[in-house]
Amino acid sequence: MNMSAYIPVIGLEIHAELLTKSKVFCTCSAEFGGDKNTRCCPVCSGMPGTLPIINQTAVEYAVKAGFALGCGINKFSVFDRKNYFYPDLPKAYQISQLNLPLCINGLVPIEYEENGEKKTKNIRINRIHLEEDAGKLIHDDLNGVSLADYNRCGIPLIEIVTEPDIGSAEEAKAFVEKISLLLQYAGVCDCKMEQGSLRCDVNISIMKPTDTEFGTRAEIKNLNSIKAIGRAIDFEIYRQGKLLDMGKRVIQETRRFDDNRGETKSMRSKEDAHDYRYFPEPDILQVNFTDEDLDAIRAKLPEMPYERLERYLKNGLNETDAKIIVNQKILSDFFDSAVKAYNNPKSVCNFLIGEMMRRINLGEVSLDNLPFTAEQFAKLVEMADTDKVSKNDAKSVFRTMCEKGGDPEEIAKAEGLLISNDTGKVAEVIEKVLAANEKAVAQYTGGDQKVFGFLMGQCTKELKGVCTPKVIKEELEKKLRSL
């Protein structure tokens, strides 16, 4: 197939679970995990006669997400019932939003690399609506049964729908990473794809450059890693291209990605909106915001990535380093805590990007499970800056911190690397060395500076661990000058 014969057209639907304490329509815990079916009540398990009450924090978080993604907020918003029958949905309908979602018309800038070239693009957001999550089905192939866990039923979920602005797997991956970053900074979702708190459906079609209309799309459901998103898109471009090359049609359907085979498989033909028999949810009040309400929510939005980047640049970090730190919220938070403990951003950054990232990339430590605190890290950087440990020895102290954790000063002491900077001891040693090497001293005072290195070496040998070569050199020069 001639890949350049077709232009891929991609739109994403991203589901993000909101970090509220309780579920969206009842008071059950919304925390991840828990024994099966222990976090449910009559409301979220769909008992007849129960009434939902909307969780205001969930609404607030959805609006925050809207602000974070550059959306406009609908002051008037309505919930609807989306009806379908499936065992993970005990009510047989999902409370969602159809025509009047909370947020509309956003814009998200992405940066990515394609064929070694740095590129930027703006992806339009069509809408963000608030809905409830469904339960989880556990398929037991051994016994040929499926089990239902309803703990996830009613967890607040936002669905972010893009316009079909995405043109490749690289763009799609960069977009999902950016959304994940923005939602984490906004504090509304932890975006753990492996736990399912961020999930992505990919809609994809291809068209010829001369076509005036989009082609028929396939929807690939529930991709749960950035890598899977990229692979599924590349496979689908190839599959649809092959069909069109053979003069066949792409059919509109829902597909699933098989991670092992790297292929998408047909699941079912795609439903249209009217198949869901949407109608206004009669048990939930409509949402009405005043300007003051929205201003108050906007004011609660924490520092966002581009603001943090600006702050780092102002603090003297270079753009490459600042971006590496900002692009991982957990790293950036660590950096901020370290700088709070030792106010030298450049120095903390250098050690972080150099030594710490190196050990993380080697797989020796992981950011979400560091054996030392940001304060201990900061202390080590400060010790190196103030010559309590040499720059080189700081690296070996850090290696121990990565292995076992602990206080850098204690480690340096235990490993005999702590520099005491005992000035009395320095003077004493210099005195002793000069007395023992009168000839060399006479040579030096006679104008032969070459012997300085020799004297320096003698002092250094005895002052290892007491002070840095820099201090020895200064003190020795001072002493010789005074002779």
Residues that bind ligand ADP (CB under 6 A): 9-13, 161-164, 203-205, 214, 217
Is the CB of residue 232 less than 8 Å from the CB of residue 251? no
Which partner, ligand ADP, Zn ion, none, binds residue 129 by CB below 5 to 8 Å per kind?
A: none
Residue 287, classified by CB atoms within 10 Å of its CB into exposed (0-12), middle (13-18) or buried (19+), is buried
Cross-strand pairs, 202: 12, 220
Is the CB of residue 267 less than 8 Å from the CB of residue 254? yes
> What's the closest the beta carbon of residue 10 comes to ligand ADP, in angstroms?
6
Pick the closer one to Zn ion by CB: 29 or 350.
29
Amino acid, single-letter form, for residue 400: T
φ/ψ of residue 108, rounded to 5 = -125, 115
> What's the closest the beta carbon of residue 206 comes to ligand ADP, in angstroms?
8
Amino acid, single-letter form, for residue 402: C
Window contacting Zn ion (CB under 5 A); options: 22-30, 67-75, 206-214, 397-405: 22-30
Which partner, Zn ion, ligand ADP, none, binds residue 200 by CB below 5 to 8 Å per kind?
A: none
31-70: contacts with Zn ion (CB under 5 A): 41, 43-44
Residues 117/118/122/128 CA torsion (nearest 10 deg): 100
Question: What's the residue count for the chain?
Answer: 483
Which partner, Zn ion, ligand ADP, none, binds residue 26 by CB below 5 to 8 Å per kind?
A: Zn ion
179-198: contacts with Zn ion (CB under 5 A): none
Cross-strand pairs, 13: 161, 201
* Number of residues located near Zn ion, criterion CB under 5 A: 5
Pick the closer one to ligand ADP by CB: 32 or 278.
278
Q: Alpha-carbon distance 372 to 415, whole Å?
A: 18
Please choose, from the candidates 156, 151, 177, the residue with its C-alpha nearest in 3D space to the C-alpha of residue 60: 156
Cβ contacts of 340 within 8 Å, gap of 6 or more: 374, 378
Please choose, from the candidates 224, 237, 228, the residue with its C-alpha nearest in 3D space to the C-alpha of residue 261: 228
Which partner, Zn ion, ligand ADP, none, binds residue 184 by CB below 5 to 8 Å per kind?
A: none
> What's the closest the beta carbon of residue 65 comes to ligand ADP, in angstroms?
16
Window contacting Zn ion (CB under 5 A); options: 28-36, 215-223, 229-237, 389-397: 28-36
Pick the closer one to ligand ADP by CB: 161 or 434.
161
Pick the closer one to ligand ADP by CB: 206 or 383.
206
User: Does residue number 26 form part of the binding site for Zn ion (CB under 5 A)?
Assistant: yes
Q: Taking CB positions, which residue lies at the least distance from ligand ADP?
A: 11
Pick the closer one to ligand ADP by CB: 127 or 308.
127
Which partner, ligand ADP, Zn ion, none, binds residue 163 by CB below 5 to 8 Å per kind?
A: ligand ADP
> What's the closest the beta carbon of residue 25 comes to Zn ion, in angstroms?
8
Pick the closer one to ligand ADP by CB: 126 or 332.
126
Cβ contacts of 171 within 8 Å, gap of 6 or more: 10, 110, 112, 114, 121, 123
> What's the closest the beta carbon of residue 126 comes to ligand ADP, in angstroms?
6
Window contacting Zn ion (CB under 5 A); options: 18-26, 99-107, 187-195, 419-427: 18-26
> What's the closest the beta carbon of residue 236 comes to ligand ADP, in angstroms?
10
Residue 457, classified by CB atoms within 10 Å of its CB into exposed (0-12), middle (13-18) or buried (19+), is exposed
Q: Which residue matches tokens 């065992």?
A: 87
Q: What tokens does 374 get?
A: 């940001």
Please choose, from the candidates 51, 48, 63, 50, the residue with its C-alpha nearest in 3D space to the C-alpha of residue 18: 63
Write out the residues near Zn ion by the rule CB under 5 A.
26, 28, 41, 43-44
